[in-house]
Amino acid sequence: MACCTLTAGAVLLFLFLNVRQNNADGPDTSEHYLVESFKCINNTCIASKIVSAEKKNSGIDGSVDVCRLTCGSYGSLWPRPTIKTAIEKSVIEFSVDNIKFDTSSVADQLGKEYMTEVSQVFISSLKKLCIPNCVSYDNTPIISISTSTPFGYIKLTTNESYNLKISTEGNQIFVKIEAITVYGARNGLETVRQLIATYGSNASGKKLVIAGNVQISDQPIFAYRGFMLDTSRHYFPISTIKKQIDAMGHSKLNVFHWHATDTHSFPLDLPSAPQMAKYGAYSHEEKYSYKDIKDLLRYALVRGVRIVMEIDSPAHAGNGWQWSKASGYGEMALCVDKGPWRKYCVQPPCGQLNPINTNTYKWLGKIYKDLISAFPKGEAFHMGGDEVNLKIKNPIQLQMLFYMLLKIGCYKLLELYS
């Protein structure tokens, strides 16, 4: 095998030197280069070297992304479809400006409006592939989308399955997506996005191609496919969170668990409880407005992602609550930032809600009411419940702490984590 490799390398070097010698003898003084060419061999895209007059192979075989589209049983699809996948080897060029969407078979008007927004995200993603520009083609992709149920907000029981068929006839590319819900249709369109790649170069112009003959039936194995981000211990700008949600949409993850508050900070600027962010955010700039929260909910929904927000309590509650005593509400949080921390909490900084102060419940109610008003009706809400400090000497406080946990539905979590 090593001998064959050395022989092939020697032949390639001889051909390369011979081309250069011929150029020296004749009028052609152009330089030649060894460039990569990709070919699917045994379900893997393998690179080889070929002689070219260009420094980079701008042909279709010069793109590993195009090779991967149809290489192997699943091409470049992720996650892999679970029911049926058939991808033939053909690809066809097209122009993003020629794409047409047909949503006439989407079940209702709200569903049509949702799919229009999803389509805009799809087109925006393709245009990013074309930076700085793509070559224009007459081929026209027609993407037909149908659903059978009215629009509803995504939840744990939402059907996200879809069927996808791509075929070509002349200069037309037919893409047909059938789904029960708009979220299944969105997943189908995301799969179409994964079946598109570019080849060429900035100098010669990039070319968009799509797999030309595809049949896929797919549904997720897990209903809850989540990612958690902690914005209490470390603040992330909204723009960064949106990038994470973009990545989730591309990977068909559907739950963004937003661990919004903890003892470290309370960055939510809520209309009914502005004091929480005023005293709890790391700075005036490092907080999320009520408008930010609503905007992020819509942004995520269009990418097939639910947001489940967590307001950690009754433990893990400190910074953001420390203003209450000076404002006449008594101590609504105990042991905030106290030390040595091992005496007062499981991890620093310390703090947990005061169960015998009735104002604690009133202000929790204000926080919950604001968030419930912003989120879709019936959406899940996470209340934390872990790592409560039970080393409380006051028996009334201990009794009320159990009452608080029962009141907010965290008693089972107390049994698990304390």
**Catalytic center residues:** 387
CB 166 within 8 A of CB 194: no
Nearest to 119 by CA among 101, 95, 104, 106: 101
d(CA 7, CA 103): 58
Looking up tokens 């997943």, which residue turns up? Answer: 187
CB 367 within 8 A of CB 326: no
Nearest to 146 by CA among 120, 116, 177: 177
Q: Is 190 helix (H, G, I), strand (E, B) or coil?
A: helix
Q: Is 259 helix (H, G, I), strand (E, B) or coil?
A: strand
Pair type for strands 205-211 and 91-94: antiparallel
**Helix 109-129 and helix 182-194, axial crossing angle in degrees, nearest 10:** 20
CB 149 within 8 A of CB 157: no
Q: Is 413 helix (H, G, I), strand (E, B) or coil?
A: helix
d(CA 69, CA 194): 8
Q: CB-side exposure of 389: number of CA atoms within 13 Å? A: 27
